[in-house]
Amino acid sequence: MFARSADAPFPVFILVILAVVAGIIWSVVASKKRRDMLRQFALEYGFEFTASPGDIHRKYQIFTPLDAGHSQSSQNLIHGRRGELGWEMFDYRYVTGSGKHRQTHRHGIAAASIPLALMPLTIRPENFLDRIAAAVGFDDINFESEEFSRAYHVKCSDRKLAYDIIHPQMIEFLMGISRIEWQFAGNMVLLHRSGNYEPDELLHVMRVVEGFMERVPEFVRQDIGIRRAGARD
């Protein structure tokens, strides 16, 4: 008496369950594939890989976007030293809102410890709101290069430091790469992107940060440089 006739529609709830199970399986497989890919990348470049790094993101809560939302979590940490820079690169997730307004945000984070002790300095692509703010008197730090000043919004409490670091050769370098947001504070620099970094993108990030540091003038290094522990005199 409970047999389903040949013409009866397949129960919708069964389809929903199958879709949920398929989604879970796909997520597990994709997560494992990503872990394996990042582990191989870390091995290739002499880094260590930690799938579950705990609350590593708490170290960087002075930076955007790690200062936003709730229910923050990190995974897939690649860490180690390359030249003069120490690296921590990981997948980051946080939540905004609740209930039907709940939204999950995912970002790739690439943070490096650098041999400088900097005042907070931000170099980010300029947007429409920045131009409106400038029109009513809330201006950022401008430079001799009008093209650069239109392309980037620079903020630093120490204007001289900003001018010392962002000299003509640095401007040429920044204008020659893709527009990204640079955040400096103390001995840390952090770059991020919406969504996760792929291995080739991580390699590009490391190279552009190294390129930036190569162009920091020697007198700046002498003024605010940090010596590595154990370094020779």
**What pTM, to 2 d.p., does this model score?**
0.84
**Count of Cβ atoms closer than 10 Å to residue 107 Cβ:** 20
Residue 195 DSSP symbol: B
The number of CA neighbours under 13 Å toward the Cβ of 87 is 26
- pLDDT one-digit tens code per residue, 86-123: 999 999 999 999 988 999 999 999 999 999 999 999 99
Nearest Cα neighbor of 107 from 68, 81, 79, 80 is 68
In sequence order, which residues have a C-beta less than 8 Å from that of residue 215 and are 6 or more positions away? 167, 169, 170, 173
What pLDDT, on the 0 to 100 scale, is given for residue 226? 80
- pLDDT one-digit tens code per residue, 136-158: 445 689 999 999 999 999 999 99
Q: Name which residue leads in pLDDT, 229 or 16.
A: 16
The β-bridge partners of 184 are 121, 189
Q: Domain extents for the chain?
A: 47-224
